[in-house]
């Protein structure tokens, strides 16, 4: 979807066109699901987060003044909805042990040993992410997994650019604390 197409769909959705919003949904649903899954650690809960996020977006799309910032606005909604979901889970005292992190990756090589090592590395990263605070987890996910710019991150998290840079630095430091030494060496 080009930027002009996205702006047209946003405008159509703001005017009440459900088809326009459906196009937006199909364009962003996978990326938002991946963010939510990494935030909450559970695929089923992530689906709920994305669904709730799109309902919030649908109900508030008229408030979007700058279509160029729409993507960041959506990420902010998913972030806050994920944090709310984590709070509700914590209140219910049902924080799961992250023994079975859901990671679905396409094999990159035909070498089973290499593939097993790669999958183990991803599992360790996913486990480390789940140990991090929600805001630090969001910094890592938005930058390293979703490749957002600092400006887009600032918009998505409602932070200043310096706060994003400092926050991302601290998040990376926290991630290093949770990762075994071997994963850090492989990443370098």
pLDDT for 91 equals 63
Q: Where are the domains of the chain?
A: 1-96, 109-188
Q: Which distant-in-sequence residues (6+ apart) come within 8 Å of 54 by Cβ? A: 25, 29, 32
Q: Please list the rounded mean pLDDT of every run of 10 residues in the chain (188 residues).
A: 84 87 90 93 91 91 84 92 86 42 47 78 85 91 88 90 91 86 51
Q: Which distant-in-sequence residues (6+ apart) come within 8 Å of 12 by Cβ? A: 19, 20, 21
pLDDT for 96 equals 40
Looking at the structure, give the CATH architecture of the domain made up of residues 109-188: Orthogonal Bundle (1.10)
pLDDT for 77 equals 94
Same fold yes or no, 1-96 and 109-188: no
pLDDT for 13 equals 87
pLDDT for 89 equals 75
Q: Do residues 184 and 169 lie in contact, with contact meaning Cβ atoms separated by under 8 Å?
A: no
Domain boundaries 1-96, CATH class: mainly alpha
Q: Tell me the whole-structure pTM to 2 decimals.
A: 0.64
If one counts every other C-beta atom within 10 angstroms of the C-beta of residue 52, the result is: 17
């Amino acid at each position: 979807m080009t930027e002009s197409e996205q702006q047209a769909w946003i405008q159509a959705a703001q005017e009440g066109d459900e088809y326009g919003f459906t196009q937006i949904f199909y364009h962003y649903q996978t990326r938002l699901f991946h963010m939510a899954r990494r935030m909450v650690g559970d695929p089923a809960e992530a689906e709920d987060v994305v669904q709730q996020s799109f309902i919030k977006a649908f109900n508030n799309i008229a408030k979007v003044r700058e279509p160029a910032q729409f993507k960041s606005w959506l990420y902010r909604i998913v972030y806050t909805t994920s944090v709310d979901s984590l709070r509700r889970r914590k209140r219910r005292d049902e924080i799961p042990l992250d023994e079975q992190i859901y990671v679905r990756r396409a094999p990159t090589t035909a070498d089973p040993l290499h593939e097993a090592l790669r999958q183990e590395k991803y599992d360790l990263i996913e486990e480390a992410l789940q140990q991090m605070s929600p805001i630090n987890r969001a910094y890592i996910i938005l930058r390293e997994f979703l490749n957002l710019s600092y400006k887009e991150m600032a918009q998505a998290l409602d932070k200043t650019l310096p706060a994003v840079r400092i926050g991302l630095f601290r998040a990376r430091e926290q991630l290093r604390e949770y990762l075994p030494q071997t994963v850090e060496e492989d990443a370098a």
